[in-house]
Amino acid sequence: MTCKPQLCLGTVQFGLPYGVTNQVGQVPEEEVSRILNLAVSSGINLLDTAQAYGTAESVLGRCWPTGAPRRLISKLPAGTDRHSWEESLITSLQRLQTPKLNGFLLHRASDLLLPHGGALLNWMESLRDRGLVERIGVSIYEASDLEGLPLNRLQLVQLPLSVYDQRLIHDGTVNKLQNLNIAVHVRSVFLQGLLLQSPSDWPERFSTSFRNHHVSWLKYLNSHGVIPLAAALDFVRSCEGVEAILVGVASLHEFSQLLSCWNNAAKPLMNWKIKDWSWNASAEIDPRAW
């Protein structure tokens, strides 16, 4: 039985001026509080953060409405020294003001392939045994990031997925993880906002062909009476095997718009030949290349 994906609120903008289209910088704490109050009143209690997101963990710990339930996912910074693993986890718990995490991921999956990778995985499993973490896993960018990993010992994988970045659907990665009973959380569903903007507002680094592709997509949506935000959300919501959809916002207004689209689904995408809209130039859909 396939369950409807849930929204997961990303918090990187709460701790850093993040995003290729972000023109407002880091979200002020007063605005974070308003966003989190709306999340609680809307039934959203799954939140994604990381130590690498500047002050995001501390801001989230301070601003989350007192007494409201929450499920938190955080990440071990890439390349953390083995003598600092425990300290890093405890620091996250303290900043978030929580006794445990729902999920704890490696920001760099290949850390499990280093000489101390076995010890790292054993330590992460000990966090589950001690009740500090419910699920462990990794964050990836492409299918090759999973090669050689002990997937039978992981419960959660975070990966990129959008209308333009369908690689991990087409190559079977999402289906493979689903068959292994590994939860899949998807991020970059708006490509840091590129999907929601006119290409005339894009940074210069993107090619003319990619801009033309986006113009065609926007015209196509307009002809069907669907706004880009609704289409982007409905594409990932229609994908099989996705437990949660990670979204980040820079203001209460953005979050309100997002929730409106989420609660009022666009027209079904099944007849939209959605595969035709994927973009195969990885340098233009992988934020690491920006």
What is the rounded average pLDDT of the residues 272-280? Answer: 87
Distance of CA 289 to the CA centre of its chain: 18
Strand partners, 9: 47, 247
Please tell me the pTM assigned to this model.
Answer: 0.94
Instruction: Give the Cα-Cα-Cα angle 133, 35, 47 (nearest 5 degrees).
Output: 15
What is the C-alpha separation between 155 and 121, in angstroms, rounded? 12
Tens digit of each residue's pLDDT (9 = 90 or more) over 34-58? 999 999 999 999 999 999 999 999 9
Average pLDDT for 108-117: 96
User: What pLDDT does 1 receive?
Assistant: 40
> Would you state the pLDDT for residue 272?
66
178 by Cβ neighbours in 10 Å (0-12 / 13-18 / 19+) ranks as middle
Render pLDDT for 258-267 as a digit per residue (tens, 0 to 9): 999 999 865 5
Residue 18 banded pLDDT, cuts 50, 70, 90: low
Q: Which domains does the chain have, with CATH numbers?
A: 6-289 (3.20.20.100)
Q: Tell me: the pLDDT tens digits for 146-161?
A: 999 999 999 999 999 9
The residue-averaged pLDDT of 61-86 equals 96
The yes-or-no verdict on residue 19 having pLDDT over 90 is no
In whole angstroms, give the CA distance from residue 113 to residue 171.
23
